[in-house]
Structure 1
Amino acid sequence: MSRKCQISGKFANNAYSISHSHIRTKRKQHVNLQKKKIWSILENRWMHVRISTKAMKSLYRMNL
């Protein structure tokens, strides 16, 4: 399974690690993914998803 949010579609970002001597090496900034069980209103059942914490926060905000 890829490192991609199943709700928002977020995935890794390309970035640089910069050393003290300013040598740049490529690296990835991965999404903070969590495995959660979410209630689906459309299917009327619990679903296991890999969701980013940002999407989790916005889902929580929409349900309030």
Structure 2
Amino acid sequence: MVRKCSITGKKANNGYQVSHSHIRTKKLQQVNLQMKRIWNQKLQSWQKIKLSTKAIKKLIIKS
């Protein structure tokens, strides 16, 4: 399964890890994903989805 947020669509970001001697090596900055149960109004049931923490904060603010 892809490491991607179901709501915001966030995914890994390419970046550099810079050492003290300024040697740069490529790295991936992964999204902070959490498994959450969300109530689905249409299906009238709980669904488990992967959400980023930013999406969770947005859901809490809306409700």
Instruction: Return the alpha-carbon distance in structure 2 between the equivalents of residues 42 and 58 of structure 1.
Output: 20
Gaps of 5+ in 2: none
Partners of 2:58 and 2:42 lie apart in 1 by 18
**Structure 1 consecutive aligned stretches of length 4 or more whose deviation exceeds 6 Å:** none
2:42 pairs with 1:10? no
Q: Distance in 2 between matches of 1:7 and 1:42?
A: 17
| Distance in 1, Cα, partners of 2:3 & 2:51 | 10
- Stretches of structure 1 lacking an aligned partner (at least 5 in a row): none
Give aligned-pair identity as a percent.
54
Q: What is the TM-score with the length of structure 2 in the denominator? A: 0.94
Secondary structure of 2:59's aligned partner: helix
Matches within 5 A, 1:24-63: 24-63=24-63
- Residue 9 of structure 1 aligns to which amino acid in structure 2? G
Q: What's the Cα RMSD here?
A: 0.7
Q: Name the TM-score, length of structure 1 as normaliser.
A: 0.93
Cα distance, 1:41 vs. partner?
A: 1.8
